[in-house]
Amino acid sequence: MSDKPLLEVENLRISFPTRTGVTQAVRGVSFTVGREKLGIVGESGSGKSMTGRAILRLVPPPGIVTADRLSFQGEDLLTLPEKRLRGIRGRRISMVMQDPKFSLNPVMTIGAQIAEAYRVHSSAGTAEAKRRALEMLEAVRIRNPERVYGLYPHEVSGGMGQRIMIAMMLIPNPDLLIADEPTSALDVTVQMQVLAIMDELCSSRGMGMIFVSHDLNLVASFCDRILIMYAGRVVETCRASELHAATHPYTRGLLDSLPRLDDTRAELPVLARDPSWLEDISPSPVQGEGRGEGDVGGPVRSAMAGPPHPNPLPRGERGHGPAEGGR
Amino acid sequence: MIDVRDLRVTFGHGADAVAAVQGVSFAVREGESFGLVGESGSGKSTVLRAVVGLNHDWTGAIAVAGAAQSRRREKGFFKSCQMVFQDPYGSLHPRHTIDRILAEPIAIHGLRDADARIDRVLRDVGLGPQFRFRYPHQLSGGQRQRVAIARALVLEPRVLLLDEPTSALDVSVQAEILNLLKRLRAEHALTYVLVSHNLAVVATMCDRLAVMNRGRIVEEMDVEALRRGAAREDYTRQLLRASQGYDRAAADSFKDFA
């Protein structure tokens, strides 16, 4: 791990103006990423994916992103002109999305898509791009790269599609990879194999990685460090190996509510949400920079319409349960 | 309660035929909770859909509650056997109120006092009567899954077939739904068949389970053996290992089981 972090995020806020007031999706998140695997865990609506997207300025309109600092290797990602940003997005920071079905171009062959990703970011010719694309397919353990090169996305399985996406994201040789639930659509054994590929590429290339996931156990076993997010805030930060010793009641609640293989509990403990978690600032800002913590909280409230919202969690995306069950 | 013998399901014809289920047999006793575990494409959902009558092209024998089933199901069959689907976003009609969703099975079966039944079943699944005239989009994922469970229970069946009932939900909501399903089974003496790819969910919910791969049952075991990790087959051991979190060495040792 180098001493200078790749990415520094300080007091990141993302809000969406809606007809009924401003929804705060991310409310003052700070962290740094070095050449390591950082996990961001949380339930749907916790703001974990939006945090990942904000780094590449991919928050969809009308979302508003503000931060005291959002810099990648010294460059300010918030004010960088779009043209310069394109030199970073995809090339130095790339992002693997959750579902290959919706992220691959259905009318382009796999090989053409990967080669295109390479040619956009380098001055290589067609033959060189093809050679590199085949190499990359091999690196993500696709057995017959020549055959897969000519296939269309609907002709490959989910696990292979995910590996293809990883190949495409890694071909420009980025410094930082943002992986948003890269394996949650996969079977457990395939998931392990895909993670092993990413792990190996991380360690062999010295790449940094942000791994966004809802799966606590997976993140604990895969990452080096973990941020736990709740309702747009980081409630706890810990080393992955120490997740089981987490202290925040939300983290504890999540861990307890997971069914386990050796479970003999008659009933799973249900998470009782404490409204104070919405206000609490993460007790330990990452890297221990003593930020003034009083500034967060007050202005947020006044910006929200009306009295404290009964359920301030932003709506989850379709396909995931918004983080509340009927009681 | 459920007896499946040599079930075979094939999709497509000729050269394109896919044998999704290739001779599966299992039996579930009354009041038991039975798990079907496997990866995608293993045929576990197809088995469930054949049992409930959603797949018509099967061969073999299926008996539910002592009655042998033909390809088409009698109306009365659905009074004893109901299914809960994976995706609570897709399985509820978006333009029907909860009341209408729950009233439909009652009307189809010509049962009386719909009002009291709906009220009772909503309370049963932990949603109050205040949810009755809402639309699905006004509910959270967990609440929708409760409605789906209520719709299955409104006919007071004896068997509930659960197809990945919590895999679309957050873990904290998953715990609530699993607790609800456990309570309902105890209160109504239900028989469950639970399909899941999550071994931990099956370990919590079931008494016995079968592991499927490529359309066949690889291994049947009771949940005690699962907790001890005492699997006989290599495939099951690999599945167990993969469910226990990321492990670099294990990932390299994985192989394909034909």
Mutate one of A188, A213, A217 to test the B interface: name it (highest B CB count within 10 A).
Answer: A188
Q: Do A187 and B178 touch (CB under 8 A)?
A: no
Residue B254 lies in a domain: no
Instruction: With residue A177 as reference, give the H or E element that holds it.
Output: strand A176-180
Domain count, chain B: 1
Type of residue numbered A44: S
Q: What is the ipTM of this complex?
A: 0.81
Minimal-distance CA residue of chain A relative to B249: A196
Q: Which has the closest alpha carbon to A242: A234, A253, A233, A251? A: A251
Measured between CB atoms, which of A195, A264, A319 is closest to B246? Answer: A195
Residue A311 confidence class, pLDDT cut points 50, 70, 90? very low
Contacts of B178 in chain A (CB under 8 A): 259, 268
Contacts of B140 in chain A (CB under 8 A): 321-326
Between CA B159 and CA B30 the distance in angstroms is: 9
Ranges under pLDDT 70 in chain B: 258
- Helices A126-139 and A110-120: crossing angle in degrees, nearest 10, is 110
> How far is the CA of A15 from the CAs of A236, B202, B243, in angstroms?
22, 39, 36
Residue B154 lies in a domain: yes
Q: Do B175 and A257 touch (CB under 8 A)?
A: yes
Please, what are the domains in chain A? 1-92+204-259+266-316 (3.40.50.300), 93-173 (no CATH)
pLDDT at A299 (0 to 100) = 37
Strongest mean pLDDT among A8-17, A187-196, A240-249, A306-315: A8-17
Instruction: With residue A219 as reference, give the H or E element that holds it.
Output: helix A216-222
Averaged confidence pLDDT in chain A: 81
pLDDT at A281 (0 to 100) = 53
Residue A33 corresponds to which tokens in the numbers above? 């990423």
Please compute the mean of the pLDDT values over residues A251-263 and round it to a whole number.
Answer: 86
A201 touches chain B (CB under 8 A): no
Contacts of B131 in chain A (CB under 8 A): 326
Between CA A268 and CA A263 the distance in angstroms is: 9
Domain residue limits at B213 = 2-245
pLDDT at A261 (0 to 100) = 83
Residue B256 lies in a domain: no
CATH of the domain at B192: 3.40.50.300
A195 touches chain B (CB under 8 A): yes
Q: Do A259 and B140 touch (CB under 8 A)?
A: no
pLDDT at A282 (0 to 100) = 45
Residue B38 corresponds to which tokens in the numbers above? 């496997």
Mutate one of A218, A252, A268 to test the B interface: name it (highest B CB count within 10 A).
Answer: A268
Higher pLDDT, B252 or A168: A168
Give the lowest-confidence range in A6-20, A99-113, A180-194: A180-194
pTM to 2 decimal places: 0.81
Contacts of A185 in chain B (CB under 8 A): none
pLDDT at A3 (0 to 100) = 63
Q: Do B203 and A322 touch (CB under 8 A)?
A: no
Residue B55 lies in a domain: yes
Kindly tell me if the per-residue pLDDT of A297 is higher than 80. Answer: no
Residue B250 lies in a domain: no
Distance (Å) from the C-alpha of residue B137 to the closest C-alpha of chain A?
Answer: 10
pLDDT at A260 (0 to 100) = 85
Helix (H, G, I), strand (E, B) or coil at A122: coil
pLDDT at A327 (0 to 100) = 38
Between CA B47 and CA A228 the distance in angstroms is: 39
Evaluate whether A313 touches A266 at the Cβ level (below 8 Å). Answer: no
Residue B82 lies in a domain: yes
pLDDT at B109 (0 to 100) = 94
A265 touches chain B (CB under 8 A): yes
pLDDT at A269 (0 to 100) = 85
Query: Which residues fall within 8 angstroms of residue B238, CB to CB, at 6 or more apart?
Result: A189, B254, B255, B257
Residue A185 confidence class, pLDDT cut points 50, 70, 90? confident
Residue B171 lies in a domain: yes
User: How do beta strands A37-41 and A208-213 pair?
Assistant: parallel
Q: What is the pLDDT of residues A263-290, one digit of tens each?
A: 778 888 888 788 788 875 544 444 433 3
Q: Do A258 and B248 touch (CB under 8 A)?
A: no
Burial status of residue A136 (CB atoms within 10 A of its CB: 0-12, 13-18, 19 or more): buried
Residue B95 lies in a domain: yes
User: How do beta strands A69-72 and A64-66 pair?
Assistant: unpaired
Considering only the C-alpha atoms of chain B, give the largest distance between any 2 of them, rounded to a whole number of Å: 61
